Amino acid sequence: MQIIQVAGGDLFRVAATYLGDATQWVRIAQLNAISDPWLSGTTTLRIPDRNPGAGGGVAAQ
């Protein structure tokens, strides 16, 4: 796991950059207790380890 800071943007781009798969944004959201993939301001995020076999999907409500 690593910790990063991003200024705005979205979890799709973060997942594509750090996990190699934009659909895995939900893994980042769940790890950081975030329900909205759109980020505003500067946000510190915990990024899970890469797992090419992990599926993407929709966060549980």
pLDDT score of 59: 53
Provide the mean pLDDT of the chain. 90
The pLDDT of residue 56: 66
Q: pTM for the full model?
A: 0.85
- Contact, 45 vs 15, CB < 8 A? no
Express as a percent the part of the chain with pLDDT over 70: 89
Q: What is the 8-class DSSP label of residue 5?
A: E
Residue 37 has what pLDDT?
A: 96
Q: For the residues 11-34, what does the mean pLDDT come to?
A: 96
Give SS3 for 14. helix
pLDDT given for residue 32 in this prediction: 98
